[in-house]
Chain A
Amino acid sequence: MSFIFKRLINTATKDYFKVFPKTFPEQRPTFKVDLRKLRKEYRGLQAINHPDLNQKLNQEEGASSVINHAYNTLKSPLNRSQYLLKLLKGYDVAEDEFFRTRQMADKELLMTILEIHEELENANENDIEGLKQENDARIQETVQELEKLYEAEDYDAAALGTIKLKYWVNIDTALKNWELGKPVELTH
């Protein structure tokens, strides 16, 4: 058991999809994920590999930490997309360097974000729920776009879609941290 799992974890440090063979039976990187299945498998794995129960394995391989990291990467559409682009294409969209060589300015998108920022600055408590719903719809739409792009293996467009998702996720964070009278800023 321990031997099999060690092997699994060794591979898994390179490919997180292989940490969850039940969720990804084809063992292929994919953007589409059954989140309920993933959560269930994650909980099962953590139950077996909890550091308190399996100290030896944990010390040797950091199994529990790998499982956590793999889960947190795959459950979030943004993290998953960033991870996929790196895994499949070597694109590092979480690094500024990636963009230095590319012209990816989408003025319309930037303008939209500044407009939302302005709305946030002028918002009161009653507006926040509505703004959150609008932004959730944007996130959902972009995630659906990304599903199609990954299916079509259009990775350059997927990189652009991932950037868009990053902007929406930032707005989501700003909405969660919103307090009346507090300046709207980002922490990262």
Chain B
Amino acid sequence: MLSRQAFRTGKTVASLLQTRSYHPKVIDHYQNPRNVGSFNKSLPNVGTGLVGAPACGDVMRLQIKVSDDGVIEDVKFKTFGCGSAIASSSYLTELVRGMTLEEAGQVKNTAIAKELSLPPVKLHCSMLAEDAIKSAIKDYRSKRATTTLGPEAA
């Protein structure tokens, strides 16, 4: 009987523990997310990364505004996902602002996970954020390639 009861209540306890295990930094970023919003994605100096985590169904959009000398001047994000995914993308926007594209391209998910003390089950949220910045940089570079090379490249 006892085990049956434990089985029944198991789910509630698990979700309670999961809520509790959020680090204060995650809660801070989640409650006051930094740099939420968007840029006009058709601008030549804006790179947009749109990534999804199919396994859990999270979606993240990260946009960078890049100066002529290749420095990230401004960052915006929008995330439809769990608290850890929102916190990961919010922290990432603070992290990469002011970085060169090269530096930002080397940001590893482990740095995000460490800063936010993400538990192992939430590591994929930080990976999604890493994918998002890489994808935004790629988008910006492909835009520049077409605009600077122009018709001569064709």
Tell me if A128 is interfacial: C-beta within 8 Å of chain B: no
A94, A105, A114: the one within 8 Å of B80 (CB): A114
User: Is the beta-carbon distance between B57 and A167 smaller than 8 angstroms?
Assistant: yes
User: Is the beta-carbon distance between B82 and A65 smaller than 8 angstroms?
Assistant: no
B55, B57, B81: the one within 8 Å of A185 (CB): B81
Q: Which one of A99, A174, A184, A185 has the highest number of Cβ atoms from chain B below 10 Å of its Cβ? A: A185
Q: How large is the interface on A (under 10, 10 to 19, 20 to 34, 35 or more residues)?
A: 20 to 34
Tell me if A98 is interfacial: C-beta within 8 Å of chain B: yes
Q: Closest chain A residue to B85 by CB distance?
A: A186
CA distance A187 to B81 in the complex (A): 8
Tell me if B113 is interfacial: C-beta within 8 Å of chain A: no
User: Is the beta-carbon distance between B55 and A93 smaller than 8 angstroms?
Assistant: yes
With known contacts A184-B80, A187-B82, A107–B50 Cβ distance under 8 A: yes
Tell me if A152 is interfacial: C-beta within 8 Å of chain B: no
Q: Please, which residues of chain B bring their CB within 8 A of the CB of A188?
A: 56-57, 82
Interface residues of B in 41-72 (CB under 8 A from A): 50-59, 61
Q: Please, which residues of chain A bring their CB within 8 A of the CB of B7?
A: 65
Q: B116-135 toward A: CB 8 Å interface, digit per residue (1/0)?
A: 00000000100100000000
B51, B57, B61, B80: the one within 8 Å of A166 (CB): B57
Interface residues of B in 1-39 (CB under 8 A from A): 4, 7, 15, 30
Q: Please, which residues of chain B bring their CB within 8 A of the CB of A186?
A: 56-58, 80-82, 85
Tell me if A163 is interfacial: C-beta within 8 Å of chain B: yes
CA distance A93 to B54 in the complex (A): 8
Q: Closest chain A residue to B55 by CB distance?
A: A96
Interface residue tally for chain B (C-beta within 8 Å): 24
Tell me if A111 is interfacial: C-beta within 8 Å of chain B: yes
Tell me if A169 is interfacial: C-beta within 8 Å of chain B: yes
CA distance A166 to B80 in the complex (A): 13
Known pairs A110-B51, A163-B57, A174-B80. 17 more at Cβ < 8 A?
A: A51-B4, A93-B55, A94-B55, A98-B55, A105-B51, A107-B50, A109-B52, A113-B52, A113-B59, A163-B54, A167-B59, A185-B81, A186-B80, A186-B82, A186-B85, A188-B56, A188-B57
Shortest Cβ distance from B57 into chain A, in angstroms?
4
Q: Please, which residues of chain B bring their CB within 8 A of the CB of A106?
A: 52
Tell me if B105 is interfacial: C-beta within 8 Å of chain A: no
Interface residues of A in 140-178 (CB under 8 A from B): 163, 166-167, 169-170, 174
Shortest Cβ distance from B123 into chain A, in angstroms?
9
Shortest Cβ distance from A104 into chain B, in angstroms?
6
Tell me if A95 is interfacial: C-beta within 8 Å of chain B: yes
User: Is the beta-carbon distance between B55 and A111 smaller than 8 angstroms?
Assistant: no
User: Is the beta-carbon distance between A114 and B78 smaller than 8 angstroms?
Assistant: yes
CA distance A61 to B80 in the complex (A): 41
User: Is the beta-carbon distance between A105 and B52 smaller than 8 angstroms?
Assistant: yes
User: Is the beta-carbon distance between A185 and B83 smaller than 8 angstroms?
Assistant: yes
Q: A57-74 toward B: CB 8 Å interface, digit per residue (1/0)?
A: 000000001000000000
CA distance A105 to B55 in the complex (A): 12
CA distance A107 to B80 in the complex (A): 15
Q: Please, which residues of chain A bring their CB within 8 A of the CB of B80?
A: 113-114, 117, 170, 174, 184, 186
Q: Please, which residues of chain B bring their CB within 8 A of the CB of A113?
A: 52, 59, 80
